[in-house]
Structure formats: C-alpha cells, structure tokens
Amino acid sequence: MKLRLLAFAAVLGAAATLAIAFAGEASFQGAVIKKPYDAASHGQSPKTASTQILYHGGPVMNQSNSVYVIYYGTFPSTTQPIINDFLVGLSGSGEYGVNHTYNDPTASNPMFIPINYAFTPPKKNDSSNPSGSVYFDDYSQGTKLGNSSIPNIVANAINNGFKSPDQNGVYLVITSPDVRISGFCTSFCAYHTTSATMFSGMHIRYALIPDPTQRCSACNGGIAVYGDTVTPNGDMGADTMTDDIMHELSETVTDPDISAWYTKGGAENGDLCNYVYDTTPSTPGLLQTVAVSGGTAHYNATLNGRNFLIQLIWKNAGAGVCAAH
C-alpha cells in the first residue's frame, strides 16, 4: 500500500526517503509496505475488475533484471536454502510471469517486464562474500535497526561485496530473527523503496524482508488465513518470507520508484492480492495441502522442487484479476 506525503519527491533519496509514522512507534524508512493480515480486508475473495490499476508515468523495470540477496545476521540452517531455492524457481515461472503484463505504455516501443531475472545462489556450504548473487552481513548495523540502517546495509553490500551498483537490480535485505526493527509485525511485514542518493546518478531499488520466526503469525498467510500450524517447508520464517518476497519483488519491478503502476488509492499489484492464494470461486484449484512434521500445510506453487504458499499478483490484462500465471 502506498502511503503518500506532500513531499512525494523525497522518496527518491535514501536519507530523504518517505518515512511511515507507525502508530505508537518511531518513524521508519519506506513508503510502500506489506501490511499484516486483517480479516476485514484480507484473505477474502480475490479482487475483481471493479479495481483498476493505473499507469502514472514513472519507470518500470523492463530491462534484464537481477535479484541480489543480503542475508543480515544469523539464520536457522534451513532458512537460506529455502529462500535461495525459491528465488531460483520463481524466475521464469508462471507466478512471476504475471508481472510480464506491465510495461511503460508511453514508450514508442513498449517493453514488458521480463519473465526471468538473474539470480545465482551460493554453492552448498559456501559462505564466501559475495557468492554469486548473495552477500552475508554479520550485523554491520547492529541488531536494532533504525531509519538509516537499511540503505546502509545495501550500500555496504554493494561496496564490499557486489562491488558495482546495479540500477537494474533489486536488492533484498533479509534480516535474521534476532534483529529488532521498529514497526515490524505490528504495522508492516515487509516493504520496498528506492534511493537516488546512495550512488550518484543511479536509482537503487531495494526491499526489506525481515524473518518473523514464530513471533509474527499475522504476516503468514497459511496461519492467518487457513489456520495452519505448520508451513510447507517446516520453517515458518523462510516460508513467510517467500510470500513477502513475492509481494515486494513484484511491486518493485512494476513500480520501482513509486511513480508507475498503482490504483487511485495507492495500492500496487501486490497489495491488490495480498493474502489471496487461490483463484476465483468459479475456477478454484490452486490450493493443495502437504503433510509436514507437526501438521498439514497449505501450498499453491511448486518451484525448484519445493512447495510454497505465495500470494497471487494483479494481472494487468483485460479487466484485471488476481492471477498465478
């Protein structure tokens, strides 16, 4: 959901990026958040053609794109393999391909967002820095993150790991369960934003994806919507974050500078289908269940040999609909 302030142009700078004033908490950087589950507005029937997503003139990421992951902190042994497998499988999939319905309609030769992106995971047991598309950050900004921490983490990874900033890249900052972030779980599950001051003359697009573990069931669709007690891969943090990544990555490539595709009310293509995991009642069938140690979990996608529960994305074709391909 886009939260608009009068100083809209400030979103283009890291230091001046729009801050969300969370109720009862300190302001935190980021203008576009994924909200925790709310039964009054989420998890109901998918949005229909009565909702219209509009183009507002800004850029979309319709060039060859790359995804970079910055693992910040210390994670359970299962978490990083699950996320890496998800990102490998998502590229070129029908689920991610919904974003291919977006372009810059003002261009003389409109190019649609590619269905693939570049992501090279580290080899098994490889903790080198960086390893392919992954950088490991050992708490460079501490365990309590403030307003400037996230762009600092991104800049540190680019300067000391990736070496070269990539304007056609999306940097995912994934924080470990012991990292405290103001507003997380209560006001937001994840967010994406952009910076034009991190590296002169370049827009750097990034998203924050915190690991919730068992502390934040409101950010997990299986638990919040379906009452599951376990998740498809047996790692509540990783399984929740794959859903968050689906949301934020889709919104970043279609609205990277918060000036392209969104509704009159400011909702982006992930917001319109937040916590929606199955197709319309007339064509159901995406949802399945799998037995996991301790119970049964819902899932709706199998990518790179793993099962995932990931939200649908608003398809910008015809009247528009929440879609999985």
Q: With 60 as the cut, is the pLDDT of residue 45 above it?
A: no
Confidence at residue 10, expressed as pLDDT on a 0 to 100 scale = 36
Helix (H) or strand (E) holding 204: strand 204-210
Domain ranges of the chain: 8-323
Give the mean pLDDT of 1-22: 36
Average pLDDT value over all residues in the chain: 86
Mean pLDDT of 11-33: 38
Distance, CA of 3 to chain centre: 17
Q: What angle do CA 249, 252, 257 make, to 5 degrees?
A: 165
More reliable by pLDDT, 25 or 224? 224
How would residue 155 be classed by pLDDT, with cut points 50, 70 and 90?
very high
> In the prediction, which pLDDT does 28 show?
35
Q: For residues 313 and 269, is the Cβ–Cβ distance under 8 A? A: yes
Cα separation, 168 vs 111, in Å, equals 14
Give me the mean pLDDT over the 91-98 stretch.
97
Q: What is the pLDDT of residues 199-216, one digit of tens each?
A: 999 999 999 999 988 678
Share of the chain above pLDDT 70, in %: 86
Tell me if residue 141 falls in helix, strand or coil: coil
Confidence of residue 132 (pLDDT cuts 50, 70, 90): confident
pLDDT of 323: 92
pLDDT of 213 reads: 81
Helix (H, G, I), strand (E, B) or coil at 128: coil
How would residue 89 be classed by pLDDT, with cut points 50, 70 and 90? Answer: very high
- Confidence (pLDDT) at 16: 34
Tens digits of residue pLDDT in 210-255? 998 867 889 999 999 999 999 999 999 999 999 999 999 999 999 9
- pLDDT at residue 5 in the model: 30
Is the bond leading into 114 cis (omega within 30 degrees of zero)? no
Pairwise CA distance, residues 189 & 187, whole Å: 7
pLDDT value for 210:
96
Task: Say yes or no to pLDDT of 47 above 70.
Answer: no
pLDDT, residue 46, reads 53
pLDDT tens track for 251-260: 999 999 999 9
Task: Please determine, for residue 82, whether its predicted confidence score (pLDDT) is greater than 80.
Answer: yes
pTM flag (> 0.85): yes
The DSSP bridge partners found for residue 172 are 69, 207
